Amino acid sequence: MFEVAAGMLKSYRSLRCGGGGSASWNPFEWEDAMFVTAFLSLAGLGFMCWLLFNLAVYALPVFAAFTVGMAAYQSGAGAFGALLIALITGAATLVLGQSLLTYVHRPWLRGAIVLAFCVPAGIAGYHAVYGLAGVGDPGPVWRQLFGLTAGLVISLVAASRLLIRTTSGPMRSQ
């Protein structure tokens, strides 16, 4: 019985070493792979931050589209009908918000419209950065601080993008 076990161990070792020989290891290949992995990770993180900043304005239309789409699906509209209703709702929300910002001149009303678009953007930014900060495990206080700072910054970026888009035309007199 011990002879069988020894034979199995010998055959296992020969399989692990590639047929009995030792595997050649080149340290430069390992360092190159680590450099490429680190570079791609940073590039991916940068792309996600860029995407978050550029798409923050669309948080309210996406939220409205998902909400109405899910309600339509659960009421029996089917997958295609719910998708169509969700797309129409999201586009209508964005167009309505842009139109209101273009044609409304009262500052308090414009502020309310911008706030309606910026609060969901800030919430989305908070949750995105809070989740990303959990990867590095900075601690609960720092994680909250990173999330709150990102939520505020992303809200302000969304507000500036909304206001730049609607005030980029020629100035009108009242």
In this prediction, residue 45 carries a pLDDT of 80
Distance CA 112, CA 38 (A): 43
**Residue among 127, 117, 143 nearest 59 (CA):** 117
CA distance 12 to 122: 57
Q: What are phi and psi of 106, to 5 degrees?
A: -75, 125
Whether the model clears a pTM of 0.75, i.e. scores above it, the answer is: no
Contacts of 63 (CB under 8 A, 6+ apart): 120
- Which residues neighbour 127 within 8 Å (Cβ) at sequence distance 6 or greater? 147
At 173 the pLDDT is 46
pLDDT one digit per residue (tens) for the chain, 174 residues: 555 555 554 554 454 555 555 555 555 566 677 777 888 888 888 888 788 878 888 888 888 999 999 999 999 888 999 999 999 999 999 899 888 888 888 888 888 988 988 999 999 889 888 888 887 777 889 889 988 998 999 899 888 888 876 655 554 544
